[in-house]
Structure 1
Amino acid sequence: MRATPDRSVIETTPVTVFHIAIGPFDSNGHCPVRASVNGRTAVSELHLAESLLDLGYQALHTGVQRIEDFPAVGRALGRALFMPPVRTLLLDAARSAAASGAGLQVHMQINAPELAALPWEYLSLGSANVWKPALRADYALVRAGRRVPPPQPLPLRESLRVLAVASPGNSHCLDELARALAPGMRAGRIGLRTVTDASPTALRQALADEMPHVLHMAARIVLTPNQRLEVDLGGALDAGDLIELLADATDLRLVTLTGTEGDGQLLDIAPALCAALLIDERLPATIAFSAPLPADDAARFAALCYDQLAMGASVDLAVTVGRAALA
């Protein structure tokens, strides 16, 4: 999805994909790491402290875990992932991409559920000069899910259409979003429709009426003890039912799941799990808040991201702008 001031398709900066596959664990408990870019590969093994592995297991089975020090977790993940072979290949790829005028996109494919539950977006290296790829436009970090052919980009001849829905009790989240999006709406880049106290029926009707490019959902998502994902839309909506609801939204290219509100210190994997399930050949990208934020911060992130999309940025770079602003 991209746009120019005249709403025609533009040429995009070439992208070099640096793919990192982590896991699964083998029968001996070893976790392989394989990095690949431009026909070159590097292999290593992931060694995480037992405390981090326990964090992943607990989050996977309970849904939420409180983390007092996300930066410390990020440093531990960075040290474990970027062992010399992978780190050297990444630096070589970054230099080559810069020399050719290309952007570098780090794809992380995590093939072990207990590892996927960890907050990899916080990974970092260094102490004095800290390198955080998720905050760098030249290293845009995304999670890669199932390999499905993406749909054709939509040239935006009008404004970016955002449909924002909130579960009962969360209408204030949409008020914050409307305030944050106001400059883009006044400029004609973004159109916003909001649905408060949303139900599955109301969501289905709004999707049909608005034909949105972006669906923004301020709704609680829960991982139940029997490992069922439920979305609070006037009652518990199974993730599979949500997938069915979105099936006919032909212009939809991005879904944002904010989950519940929080102080940014709680690891909540339910939105991330739900977001991963939504990806298919019709819907190429999702954004999930794995650390729930206050409503105003969530709105500020989303507004920056959507405004970037409306001006022609790719989703990965738009998300990077939002992350950097909050950081």
Structure 2
Amino acid sequence: MSVFELSVDRAAGSGSYGVQVVRSPAGEAAADFDVDVEALLAQREPIQAALLASSAATRGRLTSVEKPVRDLGTELFAALFSSPGVAGRYQASLAMARDRGEALRVVLRVNPPELAALPWEAMFDAEAGGYLCRSEPLVRRVPVPGALTPLSVTAPLRILGIVSAPRGLAALDVDREREQLEAALRAPIGAGTVELTWAPAATWEAIQELLLTERWHVVHFIGHGDFDVDDAEGILALVGHDGRVNRVSAGSFADLLREARPTPRLVVLNSCASATSGAHDLFSGTAASLVRSGIRAVAAMQFAVTDRAAIAFSRAFYIALAHGRGVDEAVHSGRVGILGTAGHTLEWLTPVLYLRGDNAHLFSITAPLSAPAPAPALDEPVAREEPDPAGPPPGHCLRTIQGAPAGWWKRNLVLGGASVPFGPDGRVLATANGDKTLQLWDPATGRRAGHPLTGHTGRVWSAAFSPDGRLLASGSADTTVRLWDPATGQPIGQPLTGHTDWVRSVAFSPDGRLLASGSDDKTIRLWDPDTGQLIGVPLTGHTGRVAPAAFSPDGRLLASGGADRTVRLWDPATGQAIGLPLTGHTDWVRSIAFSPDGRLLASGSDDKTIRLWDPDTGLPAGQPLTGHTDWVWSVAFSPDGRVLASAGNDKTVRLWDPATGLPAGPNLTGHVYPVRSLAFSPDGQLLASLDVAHTIRIWAPVTPR
């Protein structure tokens, strides 16, 4: 790509400024210019109002809404390009780039901080009749010595999301902010090219732990920022120990990010639409500070932005980035994405990009490593270890299975268990994968049992075996449920359609006559697995995404949990809700499980606790089970009901005595990444756990103390 680079600084010996063409296909040039910076900065508030108004502007209102933006843009363009020397080099560079069939990357090095706060992205070329950044990628660059090479990344691109809402600042709807970014990334997450994980808290300590223990490529920050004029440095507002503001300088935040290995190459700063101080959240200054502190690239929203525009930008930006585009091209794609939200929107000028060095390609992204060749089928001879006659000690890891198919952390693992057995001996477990497939495994050998099951067109979120083991059901980001023959790996019938969003959970009734599916569309649907037909109408009541669903052992109850922080009970025969929602959790309910006798219901949550409920009364059964130091992703009862296992982001599997609520044994440690899924074998002699690094661990039997 051709580059046209301008350096802007104070002119020597005068109160004016100087612009210099330091690199272009057409040569160099220089000129001085004068601007009334205070008058231009005073236009930020009316520009902000114009941007938000433009998202709903009709054709008749467009001229009056756009006028302040175009007037400011014309003045900014004239400041840099009014001299014949600079303008001539620019026009010649454009022509040369067009002859080569290339875009012309326009690079600005704006050194005076008062000028850096101006929205140069609004520059309007009156002669050409268009905004510069609408036609060419526009980058704000911080020069550094030496060449910076792209980071080699095996997909997916891992994004750490941070929502900071300290007390005392404009309130943020944390759930809405999360849902907004997840909605923006739904397509690349479903395709397996992007992975998004939310920090459990926006404190210095929580972020540091995540940076030290996991690998991140991008940090996406949603919250408040400022620019300290006295110290000439940007500020980010994290959450302090007391829940109030912890003002962190951009330099300190860069030091924090360097705790990660490798350091994240990109930071995205997203001003929040719910904040009313957009004109003062000068993220452009913070972006420049972060890049000067060593971060390769920072994309920021220099004005408050509507939800629609933020979603459109993030979607197009991350899709472009995940497919190998330069970050400058990705920002340009984000602008084009915003254009599609409303016919006359001006919000495309809100994003600003700061780049350290010349290379806009931050990542060299390759597809996930191919899986090893399929293992022999289960009926073929395989080498097996001779068991110790005395049996392994409780909590002992019997086997580690490496290299489960590459995919996102939200995969689900299913091992034939009390309510969903696969054969009487529990010889098969299944993983639902981020590469749109399911895989069967032999837990005794750690080998694949046949080829991957293919057919879904999006990430597979969940899987469940029918009670007789003759069916395997799966739910996917493609919004469908599919049925499979585990013996042959072939799909059975057509996909079950009806959901309008990701299907996060599937569960068979104990008699196998019903299949339940829970979805991000906030509904549960019941299906006849023999015919694939929908039974009744969708079960509605949840006000957020439905994550887990489970039948009671006698099949008379169906439980569900979700993003609305509640557990709900249903009568599957009528589709009616039973009683009031079970409340007490303070964050997402990620997992639920009935005890084998049906007298207890366990739920695990992002609030780091497990709760036990009496499903007959809907009341809590004792106090919350505490011990996990991060989100609880999975809960499972042993077949005899004497042990409850839980797994979480803290990389541990924990064992509980459900009768007392006390630990039932030592924590099972060994995973080096967060653990997302658990299952007991039908005889209770095995416990399987799966972490985000695609490692399955098989543990020895455990019993309460």
- For Structure 1 versus Structure 2, the TM-score category normalised by the shorter chain is 0.7 to 0.9
Q: Deviations over 1:144-193 (max 9, x none)?
A: 12424453212332211111110123422121000111111111111111
Aligned-partner residue type, residue 111 of structure 2: N
The answer as to 2:175 corresponding to 1:165 is: no
SS in 2 for 1:92: helix
Residue aligning to 1:238: 248
Aligned-partner residue type, residue 165 of structure 1: I
Distance 1:247 1:177, change over 3 A: same
Contact 1:161 1:192 in 2 (8 A): yes
Contact 2:226 2:235 in 1 (8 A): yes
Instruction: Give how far 1:105 is off.
Output: 1.2
CA distance in 1 between counterparts of 2:274 and 2:46 reads 11
Q: Deviations over 1:274-293 (max 9, x none)?
A: 11111258531111111121
Distance 1:41 1:217, change over 3 A: same
Paired-residue identity, %: 25
CA distance in 1 between counterparts of 2:281 and 2:144 reads 21
Contact 1:262 1:293 in 2 (8 A): no
1:210-221 superposed matches below 5 A: 210-221=214-225
Contact 2:116 2:285 in 1 (8 A): no
1:47 maps to which of 25, 28, 34: 34
Gaps of 5+ in 1: 1-14
CA distance in 2 between counterparts of 1:76 and 1:265 reads 25
SS in 2 for 1:174: helix
SS in 1 for 2:16: coil
The answer as to 2:78 corresponding to 1:79 is: yes
Instruction: Give how far 1:207 is off.
Output: 2.2
CA distance in 1 between counterparts of 2:228 and 2:93 reads 42
The answer as to 2:119 corresponding to 1:112 is: no
Query: How many residue pairs are counted as aligned between the two chains?
Result: 303
2:144 maps to which of 131, 147, 150: 147
Residue aligning to 2:12: 26
Distance 1:114 1:262, change over 3 A: farther
Instruction: Give how far 1:295 is off.
Output: 3.7
1:1-327 superposed matches below 5 A: 15-35=1-21, 36-38=23-25, 40-48=27-35, 50=36, 53-55=37-39, 65-67=45-47, 68=49, 69-83=68-82, 84-126=84-126, 130-136=129-135, 139-149=136-146, 151-168=148-165, 169-171=172-174, 172-195=176-199, 197-224=201-228, 226-227=230-231, 229-234=234-239, 235-239=245-249, 240-249=251-260, 250-261=262-273, 266-268=278-280, 270-279=282-291, 283-326=295-338, 327=348
CA distance in 2 between counterparts of 1:76 and 1:170 reads 37
Tell me which protein shows more strand as a share of its residues: 2
Instruction: Give how far 1:77 is off.
Output: 0.7
Greater Cα shift, 97-106 or 139-148: 97-106
Greater Cα shift, 95-104 or 306-315: 95-104
Distance 1:279 1:225, change over 3 A: closer
Instruction: Give how far 1:208 is off.
Output: 2.8
Give the greater-gyration-radius structure (CA): 2
Aligned-partner residue type, residue 11 of structure 2: F
CA distance in 1 between counterparts of 2:230 and 2:17 reads 27
Contact 1:161 1:210 in 2 (8 A): no
Distance 1:210 1:299, change over 3 A: farther
SS in 2 for 1:155: strand
Aligned-partner residue type, residue 297 of structure 1: A
TM-score (norm 2): 0.40
CA distance in 2 between counterparts of 1:117 and 1:70 reads 15
CA distance in 2 between counterparts of 1:167 and 1:295 reads 17
CA distance in 2 between counterparts of 1:29 and 1:286 reads 30
CA distance in 1 between counterparts of 2:73 and 2:275 reads 18
Q: Deviations over 1:285-304 (max 9, x none)?
A: 11111112134422321221
CA distance in 1 between counterparts of 2:207 and 2:94 reads 43
Distance 1:264 1:307, change over 3 A: farther
Gaps of 5+ in 2: 50-67, 166-171, 240-244, 339-347, 349-705
Greater Cα shift, 211-220 or 201-210: 201-210
Greater Cα shift, 191-200 or 255-264: 255-264
Aligned-partner residue type, residue 82 of structure 1: F
Tell me which protein shows more helix as a share of its residues: 1
Greater Cα shift, 308-317 or 38-47: 38-47
Instruction: Give how far 1:23 is off.
Output: 2.1
Contact 1:22 1:32 in 2 (8 A): yes
Contact 2:238 2:247 in 1 (8 A): yes
Q: Deviations over 1:45-99 (max 9, x none)?
A: 2233x3xx1145669xxxx755353332112111222123212111211222232
SS in 1 for 2:271: coil
Distance 1:46 1:265, change over 3 A: farther
